[in-house]
Amino acid sequence: MQDMSDYNRMRGAGLTRLVLFLFLHTLISPLSHADNFSLPEIGDPSGNLLSPSGERRLGQAFMRSVRATQPVVSDPLMNAYIQTIGNRIAASSNNVDRTFHFFLIDSPEVNAFAGPGGYIGVNTGLITTTESESELASVLGHEIAHVTQNHLFRTFDAMQRMSLPAAAIAVTALVIGAATKQTDAGLAVATGVQAGMAQSQINFTRAHEEEADSIGIETLAKAGFDPQAMPVFFERMGKATRLYSSGELPEFLRTHPVTSNRIADARGRAGAYPYRQTPDSLEYHLVRAALKSAQFTTPKDAVTYFRESLQSHRYRNEESQRYGYVLALIADRQFEQAQKQLDILLQERPEQIAYIDAQALQLEKSGRSKEAQQIIQDGLELYPGNHPLTLRNAILLLEIGAPLKALKLLEAQLQGRPDDEQLYRLLARAAGDAGKNTLGHQYMAEYYYLSGELESAIQQLQIALKDDSNDYYRSARITARLKSLQDELNELKSRDR
């Protein structure tokens, strides 16, 4: 996925705190598992670059590092969309048994990246830049191919003579690229890594890009998207390249260099598949409208934009444009007008989850939480267990003073989402409101841990352990968890020194 230009950029800007964090946390998993601090064998002679469990733990550590340094989107509707479309494409890939985790970064930069463990990040700027859902799918298919072809660990294999710490930092630099927070130690190691990289490594990463393009187009066609969308998107990005100097290129163009040969190759591969007209899903347009609504400096500016675009018929999809208008009106506290626009949407699609959620949000913000909770309850009759609606329901239950009900709902959601940091944050609030303070501190510790805030997590457990009402078993569990977190912090500090 990444080109050697990343390394050149690293020399001048330094490494992010993310790079060091990932290296130091490489195999420290959530402490409900009895893992130690040993690092995996990478590029061993047997050919097993990394065991499935090792890759999974590396991916979890990678995700904690991302949350610690990047603005990861917490909106459940947006997350549900990117996971759904990602799963659809991954199901048509050449490795359907692998688990993928798709997430969004709140950034206007046009970029996407594949990390270890099947974690694939997508900047919101990529979604708003694409002109069709197939274009978005083409980028996801490309990143999925990087994962299924083990490009990350084949890069390790090409660096077998490098030390493990150097290889870990090198591959992290390949994945993330952009530098934000400098550390002298990270810069020193990165410079050493860069000095040891050979020209063959450049060719190797370019070969990865070609392979990801080829397999991505095949996957795109199998998943029912337009395979021509990849060369079309590349061509637009190629035209954009000419508008920038080399140091100003958007992240996607730096990490995915678009050349005339690459565009031609993509067109040739896509041409092997029959033409198909693939309509965009409504959800794609709704997510784009929600992102557009959030881009404005003030809600009033957003209201003006959506109102005028609807009046002048300047939109790709009228329904999603009206949805964006609704969100802008709610943010501007124009609740009566928001309800009028919602009535138009609900008359056409009363079962649309985004509209149900928006109506509940409008009622909640206008001080009618009980009515909002009933709206969501009715929605859950249609979609039992739906995650976005359940989270909204839990928030509303907390608003109307029913924390025990909220706690029960959220704990049921946790069974299938053990690494959802926002779920832990709501669980902490529900437990605290229900008078279960020790449990609240335990959940808050998990929220901080998954968010990459290790010291705050330790503080929460220390508070929980002071509760005199704890029985032996609870105290033992808290003590064990606390020890694991403290061991991890000590490991970080010793390596940092």
pLDDT per position as a tens digit, 420-433: 999 999 999 999 99
Q: For residue 42, is pLDDT > 50? A: no
Please report the pLDDT score of residue 180 as a whole number. 34
Which has the closest alpha carbon to 427: 456, 448, 458, 452? Answer: 448
Please report the pLDDT score of residue 253 as a whole number. 58
- Write out the residue range of the structural domain in which residue 414 sits: 409-497
Which entry of 213, 218, 357, 453 is annotated as an active-site residue?
213
- Looking at the domain assignment, is residue 362 inside a domain? no
Q: Considering only 70-79, 243-252, 421-430, which range has the smallest mean pLDDT?
A: 243-252
Which tens digits make up the pLDDT trace of 282-297?
Answer: 999 999 999 999 999 9
- Looking at the domain assignment, is residue 371 inside a domain? no
How many degrees, rounded to 5, is the angle at CA 121 between CA 93 and CA 396? Answer: 110
With beta carbons less than 8 A apart as the criterion, state whether 18 and 72 touch: no
Q: Can you tell me whether residue 246 is helix, strand or coil?
A: helix
The two structure tokens encoding residue 294: 């959030």
With beta carbons less than 8 A apart as the criterion, state whether 64 and 452 touch: yes
What is the full DSSP assignment across 289-326? HHHHHHHSSSHHHHHHHHHHHHHTT--S-HHHHHHHHH
What share of the chain in percent tops pLDDT 70? Answer: 73
- Looking at the domain assignment, is residue 78 inside a domain? yes
Q: For residue 123, is pLDDT > 80? A: yes
Which has the closest alpha carbon to 272: 217, 312, 324? Answer: 217
Q: For residue 406, is pLDDT > 60? A: yes
Q: For residue 186, is pLDDT > 90? A: no
Output the average pLDDT for the chain.
80
Please report the pLDDT score of residue 494 as a whole number. 65
What is the residue type of 327? L
Q: For residue 271, is pLDDT > 70? A: yes
**Containing H/E element for 86?**
helix 76-90
Please report the pLDDT score of residue 59 as a whole number. 77
Q: For residue 495, is pLDDT > 70? A: no
Average pLDDT, stretch 396-423? Answer: 94
Q: Considering only 24-28, 55-59, 117-121, which range has the smallest mean pLDDT?
A: 24-28
Report the residue count for the chain. 497
Which tens digits make up the pLDDT trace of 86-119?
Answer: 999 999 988 777 899 999 999 998 888 888 889 9
- Looking at the domain assignment, is residue 319 inside a domain? no
What is the full DSSP assignment across 423-470? HHHHHHHHHHHTT-HHHHHHHHHHHHHHTT-HHHHHHHHHHHHT-TT-
Task: Band the pLDDT of 200: cuts 50, 70, 90.
Answer: very low
Average pLDDT, stretch 200-224? Answer: 77
What share of the chain in percent tops pLDDT 90? Answer: 53
Specify whether 235 is catalytic.
no
Higher pLDDT, 469 or 199: 469
Higher pLDDT, 117 or 445: 445
Task: Band the pLDDT of 277: cuts 50, 70, 90.
Answer: confident
Task: Band the pLDDT of 149: cuts 50, 70, 90.
Answer: confident
How many degrees, rounded to 5, is the angle at CA 97 between CA 96 and CA 103? Answer: 75
Of 238, 270, 302, which closes a domain?
A: 270
What is the residue type of 132? S
- Looking at the domain assignment, is residue 275 inside a domain? no
Residue 72 and residue 78: Cα distance in Å, rounded? 11
Residue 53 and residue 464: Cα distance in Å, rounded? 31
The two structure tokens encoding residue 122: 């997508």
- Looking at the domain assignment, is residue 413 inside a domain? yes
Please report the pLDDT score of residue 50 as a whole number. 63
Residues 266 and 414 in one domain: no
Separate counts of helices (H) and strands (E) for the chain: 25, 3
Which has the closest alpha carbon to 360: 395, 384, 333, 334? Answer: 395
Average pLDDT, stretch 208-219? Answer: 85
Which has the closest alpha carbon to 223: 128, 95, 121, 86? Answer: 86
Q: Considering only 203-207, 217-221, 261-265, which range has the smallest mean pLDDT?
A: 203-207
pTM of the model: 0.82
Of 225, 242, 270, which closes a domain?
A: 270
Residue 98 and residue 88: Cα distance in Å, rounded? 13
Number of domains present in the structure of the chain: 2
Average pLDDT, stretch 190-211? Answer: 55
Which entry of 6, 55, 143, 420 is annotated as an active-site residue?
143
Q: For residue 190, is pLDDT > 80? A: no
Higher pLDDT, 364 or 5: 364
Specify whether 97 is catalytic.
no
Task: Band the pLDDT of 8: cuts 50, 70, 90.
Answer: very low
Q: For residue 327, is pLDDT > 60? A: yes
Of 240, 270, 300, which closes a domain?
A: 270
- Looking at the domain assignment, is residue 293 inside a domain? no
What is the full DSSP assignment across 8-22? HHHHHH---HHHHHH
Q: For residue 196, is pLDDT > 50? A: no
Average pLDDT, stretch 148-167? Answer: 57
- Looking at the domain assignment, is residue 74 inside a domain? yes
Strand 119-123 and strand 112-114: the pairing is antiparallel
